[in-house]
Amino acid sequence: MKAILESVAEYNAAAMDAMLAAIAKAPAGLAARDVGLYYKSVDGTVEHLAWALVLWLKRYAGFGSYHCLASSALIAKPLDETRDGVRGDSEKTAALLREADALMIEFVKEVPESELSRRVTYRTTDGKEFSRTFWHTIFQVLNHGTHHRGEISAILDMNGVANDFNGFTSYLY
C-alpha cells in the first residue's frame, strides 16, 4: 500500500505542476473568470486545492509524530493566515500548491506502513467528527486533486488551451 501511495503522491505533484504550466498559457483573464465551477474560476479552484492540501497536512500532523510536518513552517502557520496570504494571487497560490505537494510527498514517504491501517479521527471544516482508516484519508486527498484537475482540464479544453496532465502513467518512470 505504501508504494502505491508514494507513487500517487509523486504523480499528483507532477500533474499539478503540469496543470499550473497549462493555466499559465491560458488567454489573459481566463483563469480569473467565473466559468461556473464550484469554486467559480480556475484560480478559485487552484486556491481550493492548495488550501485543502494544507488543511489535511495539518490534520496529519495531529495524527502522530512526523518530522517533515513538525519541522514545516507551512504547518506551523495558522491555516487562515495561509489561505488569506494567497487569496487572489495566482503566483502565490501556485507556489503554495507546489510547496504543499512536496510536503505531501515527504509525509507519505515518512509515515510508517504499519500506521496506514489504523483509524484516525478528525473534524471536518463544519465541525463534524469522522473516524477513518489512515490510508483512506491519504488516498482521498490525492484523489481530490484528480477531480479538480479534470474540471480545470475541461475549461482549458473549451478555451483551446492545450493540456494533458491527468495520465498517471505519463508521470511515472
Tell me the pLDDT tens digit for each residue of 78-120.
999 999 999 999 999 999 999 999 999 999 999 999 999 999 9
pTM, to two decimals = 0.94
Tell me the pLDDT tens digit for each residue of 22-73.
999 999 999 999 999 999 999 999 999 999 999 999 999 999 999 999 999 9
> So what's the pLDDT on residue 172?
65
Give which of 69, 148, 80, 133 is closest to 105, Cα–Cα. Answer: 69
Q: Is 37 exposed, middle or buried (0-12, 13-18, 19+ CB in 10 A)?
A: middle
Whether 171 has a pLDDT exceeding 90, the answer reads no
State which H helix or E strand residue 99 sits in: helix 90-110
* Domains, the chain, with CATH or none: 2-113+133-170 (1.20.120)
Cβ contact 151:31 at 8 Å: no
> So what's the pLDDT on residue 169?
72
